[in-house]
Amino acid sequence: MPRLRARRGGRPCREGSGAYACAVVDEIGLFPLGIVLLPTEQVPLHIFEPRYRDLITQCLESDREFGLVFADEDGLRAIGTRAAVTEVLERFDDGRLNIVVQGGERFRLVEVNEGQSFHTGEIEPVVDEPDPADEGTKEQALELFRRLVELTGSDVEEPDEGDAGGYLSFVLAARFEFAPPVKQELLQTTSERVRLERLCELLENAVELVARQEEIAGRARTNGKVDPPES
């Protein structure tokens, strides 16, 4: 949970800040939602509440990002993602919007402010530790991706590792529908090695589950019996 506190000198520092390096605090409009947006991920949003219509309108008019933060019954999370509107799909006469947004850099929410129809947040960037994933883990993640795409028959393009910019974990995870708490775990992890290893575990579990479902479905089609070829 983000804690309200005063800034001192515009450079927030915390003991043991690690990946949260001292940085000039930025202020950004906040959009709390029951979803998690990963860096590079694109998601459609239907904007209907007046305060968030105000937020998105301001972002469109000034070409600004907003902060998408996961919120549920436990409250607002401290780590969120900068979001940019990449496409306006539809505008309705009553002011509602259908848009597509893309995840950018992560941030840590330092302080929540009121004053506009929507909340704004003072944020500082979240930076990964210098702990890259090894080549074996990268290849394992890509192979699990291919296997899961094959099992599900999904039309999902395989990412180019060279274009991932050191964030293969996010690029791969953004192509799957993981539960919000799982995605928040990945978002908060500040080691690409740890994050990709965790993603491999998630993909392995998914592959096993889909393969098991296929096996059960196959048995159901034959009443659980093998239909041998006629001699």
**Residue with token string 């007046």:** 50
**Confidence check: pLDDT of 42 > 60:** yes
In the structure encoding, which two tokens stand for residue 32, read together?
């709390």
Q: What is the pLDDT of residues 141-168, one digit of tens each?
A: 999 999 999 998 988 899 888 778 889 9
What pLDDT is stored for residue 165 in this prediction? Answer: 83
**Confidence check: pLDDT of 39 > 80:** yes
Q: What is the pLDDT of residues 77-114, one digit of tens each?
A: 999 999 999 999 999 999 999 999 999 999 999 999 99
The rounded distance, in Å, linking the Cα atoms of 15 and 67 is: 25
Which residue(s) pair with 108 in the sheet?
Answer: 79, 124
Domains of the chain in start order, with CATH, are: 26-125 (2.30.130.40), 135-221 (no CATH)
Confidence class for position 134, pLDDT limits 50, 70, 90 = very high
**Confidence check: pLDDT of 66 > 80:** yes
225 vs 206, more confident = 206
What pLDDT is stored for residue 6 in this prediction? Answer: 32
The rounded distance, in Å, linking the Cα atoms of 172 and 203 is: 10
What pLDDT is stored for residue 225 in this prediction? Answer: 53
Average pLDDT score, the chain:
87
Per the CB < 8 A criterion, the answer to whether 34 and 142 are in contact is: no
What pLDDT is stored for residue 11 in this prediction? Answer: 38
Q: What is the pLDDT of residues 10-29, one digit of tens each?
A: 333 343 444 545 555 799 99
What pLDDT is stored for residue 36 in this prediction? Answer: 98
Q: What is the pLDDT of residues 53-65, one digit of tens each?
A: 999 999 999 999 9
**Confidence check: pLDDT of 47 > 60:** yes
Could you tell me the pTM of the whole model? 0.83
Average pLDDT in the 184-198 region?
A: 98
Per the CB < 8 A criterion, the answer to whether 101 and 89 are in contact is: no
DSSP notation for 103-154: EEEEEEEEEEE-SSSS-EEEEEE----S-PPPHHHHHHHHHHHHHHHHHHT-
Average pLDDT in the 62-78 region?
A: 96
